[in-house]
Amino acid sequence: MEIGYGQDRAERMQRERVASRWQEAYAPIKHLDPVLVLTALALAGVGLLAIYSAKVQTLSEQGLSSMFYVSRQLLGLVLGIVAMVVAAIVDYRHLRTYSAVGFVGSLVLLALVLTPLGTSAGGASRWIMVVGFQLQPSELAKIAVLIAIAAVLHERKGEPGLPTVAVCLVITAVPVGLVFLQPDLGTSIVFIWLCAVLFLVGGVQGRYLAGLGVVGLAAVVAIFRADVIKDYQFERLTSFLNASDPALAQGPAFQTRQSMIAIGSGQFGGKGLFEGTQTSLSYVPENHTDFIFTVIGEEFGFVGAVAVLGLFLVLIWRGLRIAIIAKDLFGTLLAAGVIAMLTLQVFVNVGMTIGIMPVTGIPLPFVSYGGTSLIVWFAIVGLLLNVHMRRF
């Protein structure tokens, strides 16, 4: 009896040791993706250098500290790293439970922007002040909409019907309408693109996608015919087609023309850090935000521009890998949505600086000046890490 009991006890202990080793091997922290984190940090570092170079001369002339913008971006970076850690620690599957709360909260913030609490700049009202920090709710809404749509599609297990599609369209349309009223056409496009990609990955049937495509095209035509798009927005959307026209050089095409000159002057190797004339003399408006890529192109040339785009390709590669190996459909949808937003924003932002895309006010992720954008993108990296760490 004692011998049998001893054998059972020994076998039980052996099984517990094996189970413990397996749990240790598959512990989430063991599967952190350092490439993803280091790439995001590298892009943020490039952004800090570019922002400093873009504004050092202007700030000096104004008698302000040359670190005025950089210090604020550094604060955003620190908060972004904290947000990344938090987003990676909390199991992403719990987000489905609170997706509705997050979505409604984002709508409240978007609505507040349109009230007297909102702050304006450049003819647009896109921010609210929170304890001295300028918060841009549309950036937060990107995460909220992504999680909400992914949660709805996950519930259908890859077989969404018409009611599910309708719910997802409402989730997309409400923030699009609120953002469009700011007005912010670029971010509205990001929401629509995000929904379209999630529909494709989430298994929405082809006939629904084709129908939505036709309806969307008809809606665009109707919007332009109804003069919903303001004149200055229409000029910004079409001026890139004739950026070389002297009649537009000092008007709608001024930004695009100066941006192309700046990037072209960098040639192959660039003029050197802090040596860009177009940059230091601020010929390119908003060269620390939407047009930050012009600083990179002028001072680091073709080599530097390709290197930065290469870092974005690394992020896209890691994101696609995470989408493929995710444990469930919800994780796949989250990763796919992140890559959809990242790819669109990089393509549009870089495209508008080299004259192949209209000026829509979309920032370059991790690089452009903007605390809320930087925090949100690092939180998004944390979300990708979360899915990757819990793939077993």
DSSP 8-state class, residue 354: T
Say which range, 16-20, 177-181, 235-239, has the weakest mean pLDDT.
16-20
Distances (CA, A) of 249 to 280, 288, 292: 20, 21, 20
Extract the runs of DSSP E, i.e. beta strands, from 10-82: none
Q: How far is CA 369 from CA 292, 308, 381, in A?
A: 8, 16, 18
Residue, of 250 and 342, whose pLDDT is higher: 342
Task: Please report, for residues 236, 257, 258, the alpha-carbon distance to residue 248 in angstroms, rounded to integers and kept in the order given.
Answer: 11, 9, 12
Please give the mean pLDDT across all residues of the chain: 84
Q: What is the pLDDT of residue 44?
A: 96
| 368: pLDDT strictly greater than 90 | yes
Residue 22 has pLDDT above 50, yes or no: no
**Higher-pLDDT residue of 283, 288:** 288
What local confidence, expressed as pLDDT, does residue 5 receive?
Answer: 54
Separation CA 171–CA 165 (nearest Å) = 10
Range of 336's domain? 32-389
Residue 17 within a domain: no
Q: Is 322 helix (H, G, I), strand (E, B) or coil?
A: helix
User: Is residue 314, in this structure, part of any structural domain at all?
Assistant: yes
Q: Tell me the per-residue pLDDT of 49-60, one tens digit each, with 9 for 90 and over.
A: 999 988 888 888
Q: Report if residue 6 sits inside a domain.
A: no
Contact criterion met (CB below 8 Å) for 72 and 52: no
Cβ burial of 121 (10 Å; 0-12, 13-18, 19+) is exposed
26 domain residue, yes or no: no
Q: Is residue 5 part of a domain?
A: no
Task: With respect to residue 14, please indicate whether it lies within any of the assigned structural domains.
Answer: no
Residue 218 lies in a domain: yes
| Per-residue pLDDT, 28 | 67
Q: Is the pLDDT of residue 12 over 80?
A: no
What is the per-residue pLDDT for 250? 56
* 355 vs 120 pLDDT, higher one: 355
Q: What is the pLDDT of residue 27?
A: 63
In what order do the strands lie in the sheet containing 118-121? 118-121, 124-130, 133-135
Q: What pTM did the predictor assign?
A: 0.88
Residue 315 falls inside a structural domain: yes
- Judging by DSSP bridges, how do beta strands 118-121 and 133-135 pair with one another? unpaired
More confident residue, 125 or 178: 178
| Total domains, the chain | 1
- Is the per-residue pLDDT at 196 higher than 90? yes
pLDDT score of 341 more than 50: yes
Task: Kindly state the average pLDDT of the residues 14-25.
Answer: 53
Q: What is the pLDDT of residue 318?
A: 95
Q: What is the DSSP string of 93-123?
A: GGHHHHHHHHHHHHHHHHHHHTSTTEEEETT
At residue 315, the pLDDT reads 95
Among 26-35, 72-81, 229-238, the least confident range: 229-238
pLDDT category of residue 142 using cuts at 50, 70 and 90? very high
Which range, of 66-70, 200-204, 231-235, averages the lowest pLDDT?
A: 231-235
Rounded mean pLDDT, 27-35: 77
Is the pLDDT at 72 greater than 80, yes or no? yes
